[in-house]
């Protein structure tokens, strides 16, 4: 009888120990955010604080009302769509550590959260003749990328930066996270996405910037 009591006491101790250890594990994960709730580390990599990230815009900051905002996807698709801000947020989200490099030589490391174009293209369907995707923005800016690049790299439209809702000067509601491409492919304040079947030169590309825009590659198109 005494032996049985001893035995159950041992089990009790073991369970208590497991609970304490499990609790410790949860508490062990550090608070990797700053005072404004901004993420400072993601996947073990240090993030540039938003306050230290530069920005660039041809016409200054655009202010978009999320209540009336619509993202239109049209062109060589089976079902054109108009998506509200809330609809965009309702899709499954992805988060990634991605560095942005402007062709002028500055850049920053950030955590980006958003919806992938593949998720949206899954909804619209894509015509088999499509080759190119054009992004149009409220400031008159535009740029394009090859469909294969966007699909193969599962490129996202970000609505959060370092866990913070994308600030107005950074492209609210959406900035394209064009991984491994120069900053001028990272369209901000996107309101329309057109799928076409020929090359397209955007704002900077039409004055000579390389339409390929691979980071590390030539900044200008060869004459
Ligand atoms: N709509 C719009 N998107 C834009 C631009 C712009 O002027 N208008 N500038 C581009 C350039 S040249 C760069 S380097 C990046 C800078 O992004 P950031 O302001 O978020 O740092 O935005 C790109 N996207
Ligand atoms: Mo840029």
- The ranges assigned to domains in the chain are 38-202
Domain 38-202 has CATH 3.90.420.10: yes
In this predicted structure, the answer to whether residue 106 has a pLDDT above a threshold of 60 is yes
Instruction: Give the pairing of strands 132-137 and 190-196.
Output: antiparallel
State in Å: Cα 175 to ligand 1 middle: 9
Which pLDDT belongs to residue 9?
Answer: 60
Q: Is the CB of 183 under 6 A from ligand 1?
A: yes
Q: What is the mean pLDDT of residues 204-208?
A: 98
In this prediction the pTM is: 0.88
Within the chain, residue ranges assigned H as helices are 2-28, 85-90, 117-124, 147-152
Which pLDDT belongs to residue 35?
Answer: 87
**Rounded distance, CA 174 to CA 157, Å?**
6
Among the listed residues 121, 215, 117, 91, the one whose alpha carbon sits nearest the alpha carbon of residue 175: 117
Q: What is the pLDDT of residues 141-198, one digit of tens each?
A: 999 999 999 999 999 999 999 999 999 999 999 999 999 999 999 999 999 999 999 9
- Residues 6 or more apart in contact with residue 152 via CB below 8 angstroms: none
Q: Which of 183, 205, 208 to mutate to test the pocket of ligand 1 (most atoms within 8 A of CB)?
A: 183
């Amino acid at each position: 009888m005494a032996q049985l009591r001893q035995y159950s006491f041992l089990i009790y101790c073991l369970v208590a120990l497991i609970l304490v250890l499990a609790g410790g594990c949860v508490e062990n994960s550090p608070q990797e955010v700053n005072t404004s709730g901004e993420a400072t580390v993601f996947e073990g990599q240090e993030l540039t604080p938003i306050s230290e990230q530069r920005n660039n815009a041809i016409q200054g900051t655009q202010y978009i009302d999320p209540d009336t905002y619509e993202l239109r996807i049209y062109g060589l698709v089976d079902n054109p769509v108009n998506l509200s801000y809330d609809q965009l947020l309702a899709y499954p989200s992805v988060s990634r550590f991605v560095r942005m490099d402007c062709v002028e030589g500055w850049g920053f490391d950030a955590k980006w959260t958003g919806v992938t174009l593949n998720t949206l293209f899954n909804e619209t369907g894509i015509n088999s003749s499509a080759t190119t995707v054009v992004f149009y923005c409220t400031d008159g800016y535009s740029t394009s990328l090859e469909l294969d690049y966007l699909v193969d790299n599962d490129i996202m439209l970000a609505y959060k930066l370092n866990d913070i809702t994308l600030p107005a000067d950074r492209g609210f509601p959406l900035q394209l996270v064009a991984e491994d491409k120069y900053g001028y492919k990272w369209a901000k304040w996107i309101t329309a996405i057109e799928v076409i079947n020929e090359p397209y030169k955007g704002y900077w590309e039409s004055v000579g910037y390389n339409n390929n825009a691979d980071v590390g590659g030539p900044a200008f198109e060869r004459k």
